[in-house]
Structure 1
């Protein structure tokens, strides 16, 4: 589970991160990373986007749970004030959690280059 202090909840934050952040794609997910250097007082925020293209409600909730679990592992790598949006692609429905975790770390590394 992703702790509450690290959850992105405002739609404005989602929109800003997706439009202004650096995009990095993998086969199962897309990461939008926005580093806000002047806002070091807040904790990093992570948001998830799992659309209907991924599957029905049961599949989307399963993918969301797995993404929240693997996102928890990258929290120590994030800087204060950093915002991260993880958008699941349809292939994420059949991908194992280990693959989701590896691709999330690779996408984050790629976005930071």
Structure 2
């Protein structure tokens, strides 16, 4: 589980991230990103969208747990660098192919989509 400061929980936060349209996708996930100036608080926050198209409740929760673990690992290892002076809010939407994907494939898809979405957010 992600620590509470790193979770997006309110509908307003999800809407703010999804409304920016700074996204990148792959076969298993779509990552939306919003950069905010970083003064205090967490350097990143993340939320997940896993719809019924992904599967039943058991499959959806398993997929969310897998994605949560991947994001926590990416941020802990600093494999994805955030721009200096900014914090990132991200929403990761699982696609129907996500539950069947191997861990290495899902990890690579999340990492590459997150990198591409951050690159779009940094562009002027």
Same fold per superposition (TM over 0.5): yes
Structure 1, 67-76 or 77-86: larger mean CA deviation: 77-86
The equivalent of 1:40 in structure 2 is: 39
Q: Does 1:107 align with 2:106?
A: no
| Residue ranges of structure 2 left out of the alignment (5+ in a row) | 120-124
| Aligned-residue CA RMSD (Å) | 1.5
The equivalent of 2:122 in structure 1 is: none
The equivalent of 2:56 in structure 1 is: 56
In the alignment of these two chains, the number of paired residues is 112
Which structure: greater helix fraction?
A: 1
SS, match of residue 52 in structure 1: coil
Instruction: Tell me the TM-score normalised to structure 1 length.
Output: 0.90
- For residues 66-113 of structure 1, the C-alpha deviation after alignment (integer angstroms, 9 at most, x for no partner) is 001001022243465310100000000101222111111100111122
| Residue ranges of structure 1 left out of the alignment (5+ in a row) | none
Trace 1:21-100 onto structure 2 (pairs within 5 A).
21-37=21-37, 39-43=38-42, 44-75=44-75, 76=78, 77-78=81-82, 81-100=87-106
